[in-house]
Amino acid sequence: MPTAPPPPTYLLAGDIGGTNSRLALYRLPPASSPASPPTLHHPPPSSATAWCEYLNEKFTDFDGVLRAFLSFGFPGGRDGYRVVASLACAGPVADNAVNFTNANGKKFSVCGRAVCAPGRPYPGGAHFASCVVVNDFVGLGYGTLTLDNSSGEVERLDGDREVVEGGVICCVGAGTGLGECFLTCDAGGAYTCHPSEGGHKDYAARNATEAGLKNYIVGKYDPAGNRCSIERVASGTGIVDVYEYLAGEDPQEVDPTIDQAIKAAGSLQGKVIGTAAKENACALCVKTMDIFAGAYGAEVGNAAVQYLPRGGLYVCGGLTPKNMHLLRGDGSPFLRAYRDKGRLSGLVGEMPVYAVTVEDLGLRGARYLALREYLRIQEEEEGEPDAPERRNADFGYPSLLVAGAAFAAVALLKGRKK
């Protein structure tokens, strides 16, 4: 009797934020494929079987999101299909798990061990061989390694020097919250991403309006203390706080129709404010977004001073491509604040700064990490003693194919295009 073929293997990549969860599934070729053995230098040809975005507030936990996605009914074998997953999540990770609060105030938990629990049934017969949970900015950090700086994937914002190969790379990104990470390169050319909670650094008011804003936020969130983090201003939730403060200070500037739409928007209040500002439909919203962009630029400038990212400073996050009109140009509130670093303004001006205009950066990085985990499992199963050394050598020259309707093919070489 012929031996049944092994179940197909998929990579599952997840970008789990405070507002949305984005999931994508990629099918790997079978072991009998004539293709060369997959490595990070030569990844297996893979197509995005499906991807979907979910609003987290519609689910009580991540398990509901995952089951909704797997219910699409992906093609498997007689015994279902195997999944190797990497989930980049918005929050500090401990013991392969993360707990964070959604934009609507609900607790949300993601646990890699729970996902892989033996005997846990999933739609379509999916069974997880591994599920790696990382901080969302670790995913974004590794995602920057897939970017082609000469293409439309990024837009150069500032910096009079070119990217230094092997230099420190830094990411700062505003979405529901504000995140930061940095990457360092070893002697073999391999980058390692280091997570941080830099978005929770102290907010420094730069004028009287911002001083009043800081006092308002302290009174709202920490009345017994005197602390306000930069995330309280330079983020989607921060935009709402800025608007509320300005509306309280200048009630005559409030547009009743837009104000009602903001209050009815739930977790999408920041989006309503940003749209009204972009359409110049509300002076208060315009002022709100200018304050947001100034705080954002100031913090990106702080990152430039702190990390000296001569390998590239990438401004990412969901709010970046949606607000390029506030980021680009010498007179933009973002760049004015970014460059305002006193004695170090000249140094900051040397750093190559890019705005990331693609919105799948987190998924790219998560897929990269899922592939790395898949290769680790393959090495263990094959029992190759020299596999770790070979994998680390390949890691210095990573190449990643992100395929499918939502993803463009990306060649990642040791020397990235400038």
- 415 domain-assigned: no
Whether residues 344 and 373 fall in one domain: no
Total of domains in the chain? 2
222 Cα distance to chain centroid: 28
DSSP 76-102: -BTTBEEEEEEEEESS-EETTEEEEE-
Report the C-alpha gap between 76 and 217 in whole angstroms.
51
Whether residues 349 and 364 fall in one domain: no
Whether residues 390 and 328 fall in one domain: no
287 Cα distance to chain centroid: 27
| Residue 257 near residue 229, CB atoms below 8 Å | no
Q: Give me the phi and psi of 75, to 5 degrees please.
A: -65, 130
Q: What pLDDT was estimated at residue 409? A: 27
Whether residues 242 and 158 fall in one domain: yes
Whether residues 71 and 102 fall in one domain: yes
Whether residues 159 and 296 fall in one domain: yes
In the listed set 339, 357, 375, which residue is the last one of a domain according to the structure? 357
CATH of the domain at 100: 3.30.420.40
Report the C-alpha gap between 216 and 203 in whole angstroms.
13
Whether residues 248 and 377 fall in one domain: no
Whether residues 170 and 282 fall in one domain: yes
CA gyration radius, the chain: 22
Whether residues 135 and 75 fall in one domain: yes
* pLDDT tens across the length of the chain (418 residues): 556 667 888 999 999 987 889 999 988 866 544 444 444 544 444 445 788 999 888 888 899 999 999 988 676 655 688 999 999 998 889 999 998 765 566 678 899 999 999 888 898 889 999 999 998 889 999 999 888 888 889 999 999 899 999 999 999 999 888 999 999 999 988 899 998 889 999 999 999 999 999 999 999 998 888 899 999 999 999 999 999 999 999 999 999 999 999 999 988 999 999 999 999 999 999 999 999 999 999 999 999 999 999 999 999 998 999 999 999 999 999 999 999 999 999 999 999 999 999 988 999 999 989 998 999 998 888 875 444 444 433 332 233 333 332 233 233 323 344 4
Q: Which residue has the tokens 């990642």?
A: 412
Q: What pLDDT was estimated at residue 399? A: 31
Q: Which residue has the tokens 């919105």?
A: 359
- 93 domain-assigned: yes
Whether residues 121 and 172 fall in one domain: no
Show the domain range for 247. 154-357
Quick one: residue 256, left, alpha or beta (phi over 0 = left, psi -120 to 50 = alpha)? alpha
Report the C-alpha gap between 275 and 270 in whole angstroms.
9
- 19 domain-assigned: yes
- 407 domain-assigned: no
- 75 domain-assigned: yes
> In 76-168, which ranges are continuous DSSP H helix?
112-115, 136-144
DSSP 48-60: EEEEEEEEGGG-S
- Which residues pair with residue 130 across a beta bridge? 84
Whether residues 213 and 348 fall in one domain: yes
Q: In a 3-state reduction of DSSP, which class is residue 201?
A: coil
- 406 domain-assigned: no
CATH of the domain at 182: 3.40.367.20
Quick one: residue 280, left, alpha or beta (phi over 0 = left, psi -120 to 50 = alpha)? left
CA distances to 38, 217, 323, 330 from 287, in Å: 51, 17, 14, 18
> In 342-386, which ranges are continuous DSSP H helix?
345-348, 361-382
- 100 domain-assigned: yes
- 177 domain-assigned: yes
Whether residues 79 and 216 fall in one domain: no
